[in-house]
Each structure stands twice: as structure tokens, then as C-alpha cells.
Structure 1
Amino acid sequence: MSTETESNYFNSYPPPKALQRHEALTRAFVQLQLEQNRRVVLVTSGGTTVPLENQTVRFIDNFSAGTRGASSAEQFLENGYAVIFLHRQFSLLPYSRHYSHSTNCFLDFMDEDPVTSSIVVRKEYQSSMRDVLRKYRYAKQNNLLLVLPFTTVTEYMFELRSLAHLMKPLGANALFYLAAAVSDFFIPRDRMAEHKIQSSEIPAHIGQHQPIQDDEVYTGYNEDQPGDVEKTEYKSKKLVIDLDPVPKFLHRLVDGWAPEGSMIVSFKLETDPTLLVYKARTSLQRYAHHLVIGNLLSTRKWEVVFVTPEEPHERWIRVPKSKRSKSISGSENQIGLAEKILHDQEHPDQPEEQQKEEKGESRGENEEGGGGVEIESLIIPELVKLHSKRIASRSTT
């Protein structure tokens, strides 16, 4: 993508109102980590919106609660990183996610002491909540976590560009972990409606401040009134949306925005197992970054695939069966399906078991233990190893 395309895009929109404040916070945060010679990861999380009107009532939203990003941020902190957490406003946050989106109301964790009337955590939750609270307090008190919100895809792009530039002094100690669900399509600002898009026709003189007859009052009905020919002008309308592709700024992040020597990791979410590895490979080749983590919507909580330029090129990471958490939306019977399809396509004459023996079992599959392990606890340690290897290779050149 050319710098001209970049300029045209960013010049078409005013900067987000919070951008200057976010830049000041990030500048101070990065300086503090530089003084400590600490690695810093920018974790993006949650979905972006695409407004349909300038005064936004309706918008297109990308599906994401922000679970991957929030959980990963906790794991990065556990592994000694400082975290800039760029997240969709009101999506899940590190540590508080354990309670903010719980199936129980937050108040269900609380009780009132009958003697002192003090509010206390119920006994059965104290141990787990104490552990989460200590980790959160440690991160905040030691200035290891900076939380910055966005909402629209344009706000996200402005924030990503600014934060990447501010991280330049970090060099190879910078890591970009792009887990946000970023919109692929948008409506350019000059084609956006100013006011709320109406679902029914409005009489032409409504906006001209002329008197309105009683039988012409716009009622907001979305359907034709049976037998009322006079009101057919108020019938509901189809909404046809013409979307443009969002400029692919990942190329600019790799080639211009990010610090020299930094590591850039993106995600590829698919629903079709036949496309997963192909799309991840294509993304890696197109943008020339360092790692694509592929995952299927139906199995994303239990398995991912690391796609890298170096051999073995694809490496699957799975939560062992005995440790898998339950998921209402997931399909355990699809675990391993994308890998099997890839094997059958590329090695039609080789039995699958033989291939597993040659390359070894996927990371985590032979481990034992109880249930409820989050896959991010397997992803991040492996990613830290790759980042360490990259830093070491640059220090020897």
C-alpha cells in the first residue's frame, strides 16, 4: 500500500478526540519501559465498528468479545512483558474479565456482613478473586499495563499508527499482537449519510418547515397500510449498502510504522476449515510479517495453528482433551479437521499417523491434568520463545 493511499485515508477523517491523550500516556509508558529495558507488547482486542451515518445510530460490527486479547494480555504480563492494551470500548479487559462478563451477576460475588454491614466477597469466591486482584494490583502498581479504548475502524487505524510510531525507540523489544477483529469493509466519510438513515419515505416538504396536514404525518410504519393507496409513499425501503475495502495497513505497519526489528503477529479467523491454512499463508506472504496465528471460529478456544516463514511453517497448538473448557458455541468434533484436510491435500499418499510421527504431536496434546485451561496459556509462552529467538538473532548480526 502506498503512502499516498495512507495520506488520503487519514486526511479524510478527523483524528479521534482521545488520540492526543492516548499519545501522551503511551509516550510516558514507553519511556518507563525503556528505562527498565523491558519488552513491550501492543495487544489489540475486540471488534471494530463501521458507522453508517456521521451522526451514528446504525453501524456494522465485527463479532468479538475480546476474550483472546484480554486473556493473552494477562499471559504476557505473566511472562514479564509490559502491555499496551488497545481494546474495543466495553469489551473484555485483563483481570476484570473474570467477573465482568460472568454468567453470574457481579453482585452475586458479594455479601453484606451481618454485624458490621461491610461489603465482603463471599467465602467461596475469595481465593480465586484474591489471586486475580493481586495480579491486577501488581500490574497497575508497577506501571505494566496501559489500557486504551477505541470504537470505530477509523479510530483503531489512527491509534495503531500513532502507537506504533511511539514504540519505535523499543526496537526489537517491541511486539505487536494484533488480535482485534478489524473490519474488512467500510463506508468512506464522503459517502456517509449525515443523519439517521430512515426506513420509510419522508414527504419532501418535511424538512422545509411547511405545515403538515393531519393525513400526512409520518408515523414511522415500516409496512404499507392495507387498502390505503394514499400512504404508499411511506412504505418501507430496502437498505442497500455499498462498502469499500478498508486499506490494508498491515503492510504499512511492517514497512514503516513499527520499530525496526520488532515482531509482528496477526490473526486469521475463518469458518471454513478448508481455507484456514491457505488464508494464513496468503496473509504471511502478502504482508511479510513474522507470524500468523490461524484459528477456526468453532474451535478457537482449543486449537490454533502457527504459520511462519521458517520451517516447519505450520505448527498446531491444542489444549489437551482433559483440559478443555466447555463452550456453548464451539464444536469439539471439528478439532483437528483443518489439519487433516491440509494433510489430505498435500500428502494424499501418506497416512496421517505417519505424518504425526515424522513431525511430532502438536504442542500440548500429550500433557495431562484437569480441565479449564485457556489456550492463550499455551500460545503466549511459545510466542515469547519466538520473540526471544528474533531478538537474539538481531543482536548477533
Structure 2
Amino acid sequence: MSAPSLAAFIANSVSTSTPTVLITSGGTSVPLESNTVRTLENFSTGTRGSTSAELFLSSGYRVIFMHRIGSKLPFLRQIPSPTNVTPELANLIKDCPNPSVSTPIATFNSNLPNLYLLPFTTVTTYLSLLESTLKSLSPLDSLSIYYGAAAVSDFYLKKPPKHKIQSTSEGRSIANDNNIGEGFELKLDSVPKLLGDVKVWCPGIFVCGFKLETDPKILTSKVEKSIEKYGLDCVVGNVLGTRYEVCYLYDKGGAEEVRGRVEEGIVEGVVGRHMEYVCREGGSLNVCLEGNLIGGGKKERDERIWREMDGWKKGIFWGWERLGPVIGVALVYYIRRRKW
């Protein structure tokens, strides 16, 4: 059976009023020639994006995962392998007896009804795909999220040469290249900043941007300028050297520090802010009362509460969970038997 089209995937989200997040993940490539031999890379393994996709899925969201080809994919990233596991390869090895391989593949396949994969490589493909996907999401209005975790190139060549750039001055002379000399100068153009267009293409969408810096002194000021300039609802800010240990979730009210399991903290914070946003904007949510609630079912919520409690609080929680129904029945019996 062939995979549904993106339009059909989004139409299903609309018909069921299910919140849907567009996650961009991985780095972009900038070709230096039209017949590409050399490229400039914005490197990213896609770990944060793929991990976040898993967490959004477990929170009841549907996910459009726009990823760099070769970067990590949700669930399949967990397979111990030196190379990326593609869906095609996963299909071939799905019956592997090793549970460290078979379990992630089974989980990936079980989530496919709510996961749509959109691959890209070059920055120009990324920009075009982002615009068309956001426009397609517009019927979801406030139920949609843009979660821009991709490492997008800031510079590119608008008009790259047709053929391979020659490595020697003689070769460049033969190719009628203006850059003749022992060295080689490359002038790059700025990639268009599309954050300001996101709410133009999809007016009701909740926008979560990302800001990575190497200098912690300028992080907050850069984030605040982005929120003001582009109208972002929140921004994940991090410093390159500590991005796996600590991040900051910014909104117009300030910054919240996230430590430990960073991706869990980020997604939980974004989901909470999105729910508030939906309520303010008058949207409606499809909430499954059988356990697939936004933010987790009863079992997941109870487990999270239990982990965070002190010892004496756990005793009260345990006692109320077990004795509460008994006390309730006794009170009802007492009231009915009592002669007023």
C-alpha cells in the first residue's frame, strides 16, 4: 500500500481536529556548481529534531518530519549502527531477531499513520518545501506548530557556475573563470530569512524558532530581537558547547531553563504553550479519553507525578489512590442510612 500524499495527511488532521507539528531537522547543503561537485555544509545530525518528533507523537500530535537526507529519523535513530537507517533499510531488516533493532523498527512502523516524512538536501529545496508545506497546513489554523530545528545555511550562491570550479589558475583560465590567480575568492549571498513569512503562509500557526550561538553573552539579546522582529511564539536558545546539557525556552514573558533530558523539557514546554495558544485562539482539540491525551494519558501523568514526588508525598498519593474509593463508598452508605 502506497503512503498517503501530504494533502491527504493534512486533510486527516483537519477532519479529526488533531494538532499537527511541522518539524524541520538536519542541516542544509549549498552547491557551489549547478553540476554539483563541491558543497558547503551546515552540519547537523538531526538528533534534536528526531527525538522531538518522537516526543510530539507520544503527546498526541501528528508530525510532518522535514529532514535532511541521511540525518537521523524518529525511532530508527535508536538502532545501533554507524550509518543512518532509512525506512527502506528498516523494511528489509524488520524481522531481525535482535530486539535493539526490531523494537525501534516496530515502533517506527506503528507510528507511520501519524508521521509523514519529507526529505531535502539543498538549502534551495528546503526553502521551497518549507513554503509549500506551511501553505498546506493553513486549514489547521491554531492546531498547527512550526518547530524549526533544522540548521539552515545563512549563505548560498544565487547563481552558481554551471560546471565544476577548477582547482588551478590554469584550469580556471581555460574555463573563462573571472577568479584567476593562485587563490580563489567566493562571494556568497544571504539566504532569505523566512521566519517572518511563516505566519503569512499559515496565519494561525504557533511558531517555535531555534537560536544556536557560540557566544553565550549574545544569546538572550539575539533571541529577544528574533521574537520581536518575526513575531515568534517561543524560541529554543542554546550555546554550541552545552546544547545537550542545557537549553533556554524563551517567550515574551522571559526565559525558562531546561536541564537534564533537554528534548523532553523543550517539547513539554512547547506543548504547554501551544495548548494555551489554542485556547486563546478559540481552536478545538481532538482529545482521546482512552489515554492518548495531549501531554500523555492518565498512566503517563501518574508515572511522571510519582517520579517527581518526595517520599512522604508518595505515601499520601498511594493512600488516596487506594483508599479514596473506599472512603467515598462508606460516606455514601452513611448518608443514605442516616435518619435526618
Residue 236 of structure 1: CA displacement?
7.7
Amino acid at match of 1:391: V
1:170 aligns with 2:140: yes
Alignment correspondent of 1:382:
269
1:316 aligns with 2:257: yes
What is the CA deviation profile of residues 233-266 of structure 1, one whole-angstrom value per residue up to 9, with x for unaligned ones? xx98312111111111111112x112x3210011
Cα gap change, 1:383/1:161 in structure 2, threshold over 3 Å: closer, same or farther?
A: same
| Contact kept? 2:236, 2:266, Cα under 8 Å | no
Cα gap change, 1:100/1:150 in structure 2, threshold over 3 Å: closer, same or farther?
A: farther
1:139 aligns with 2:111: yes
Alignment correspondent of 1:33:
13
Residue 202 of structure 1: CA displacement?
3.1
- Distance in 2, Cα, partners of 1:182 & 1:204: 30
Map 1:181-260 → 2, pairs under 5 A: 181-189=151-159, 192-202=160-170, 237-254=182-199, 256-258=200-202, 260=203
| Contact kept? 2:76, 2:85, Cα under 8 Å | no
Amino acid at match of 1:242: K
- Distance in 1, Cα, partners of 2:38 & 2:182: 16
What is the CA deviation profile of residues 257-300 of structure 1, one whole-angstrom value per residue up to 9, with x for unaligned ones? 12x32100110001111111111111111111111110111111
For residue 79 of structure 2, give the secondary structure of its aligned residue in structure 1.
Answer: helix
Amino acid at match of 1:90: G
| Contact kept? 2:165, 2:172, Cα under 8 Å | no
Cα gap change, 1:104/1:86 in structure 2, threshold over 3 Å: closer, same or farther?
A: closer
Amino acid at match of 1:147: L
Greater CA drift, 239-248 or 155-164: 239-248
- Percentage of identical aligned residues: 37
Matched residues, number: 270
Map 1:17-166 → 2, pairs under 5 A: 25-99=5-79, 101-102=81-82, 120-122=96-98, 126=99, 128-129=100-101, 131-140=103-112, 143-166=113-136
For residue 29 of structure 1, give the secondary structure of its aligned residue in structure 2.
Answer: helix
Map 1:292-371 → 2, pairs under 5 A: 292-309=235-252, 311=253, 313-319=254-260
Cα gap change, 1:50/1:391 in structure 2, threshold over 3 Å: closer, same or farther?
A: same
- Distance in 2, Cα, partners of 1:379 & 1:292: 10
Deviant stretches of 4+, over 4 Å: 100-106, 128-131, 203-208
- Distance in 2, Cα, partners of 1:206 & 1:393: 64
Amino acid at match of 1:385: G
- Distance in 2, Cα, partners of 1:164 & 1:203: 44
Alignment correspondent of 2:281:
394
Q: List gaps (5 residues or longer) in structure 2.
A: 87-94, 284-340
For residue 276 of structure 1, give the secondary structure of its aligned residue in structure 2.
Answer: helix
CA RMSD of aligned residues (A): 2.6
Q: List gaps (5 residues or longer) in structure 1.
A: 1-21, 107-118, 209-234, 320-373
Alignment correspondent of 1:273:
216
